[in-house]
Structure 1
Amino acid sequence: MTTQLNAYIQSEDARAQAAFYMQALGGEVHSVMTYGQIPGAPEENKDKVMHMVLSVAGGNILFLADSPFGASPSGRSVSLSLTFDDEAKARQSFEKLAQDGTVKYPFVMQSWGAYYGEIEDKFGVNWMIVKK
Structure 2
Amino acid sequence: MTTKLIPYLMSEDARKQAGFYVQALGGEIQSVMTFGQMPGTPEADQDKVMHLSVDVVGGLTIFMSEAHGGAVTYGRNICLSLNYDNVEAARAAFDGLAEEGGNIQFPLQLQPWGAFYGEVLDVFGVTWMIATQS
2:104 is the counterpart of 1:115: no
SS of corresponding position for 2:33: strand
Aligned length: 132
SS of corresponding position for 1:23: helix
Work out the percentage of aligned pairs sharing the same amino acid. Answer: 52
Match in the other structure for 1:95: 95
Deviation track 1:66-94 (CA, whole Å, cap 9, x = no partner) reads 11224211253320000111211110110
Match in the other structure for 2:12: 12
- Listed as ranges, the matches of 1:1-132 within 5 Å are 1-74=1-74, 76-99=76-99, 100-132=101-133
Question: Structure 2: which amino acid aligns with 1:102?
Answer: N
| CA distance in 2: counterparts of 1:42 and 1:85, whole angstroms | 47
Name structure 1 gaps, 5 residues minimum. Answer: none
| CA distance in 1: counterparts of 2:29 and 2:44, whole angstroms | 24
Work out whether residues 9 and 75 of structure 1, in 8 Å CA contact, stay in contact via their aligned partners in 2. Answer: no
| CA distance in 2: counterparts of 1:77 and 1:67, whole angstroms | 18
Name structure 2 gaps, 5 residues minimum. Answer: none
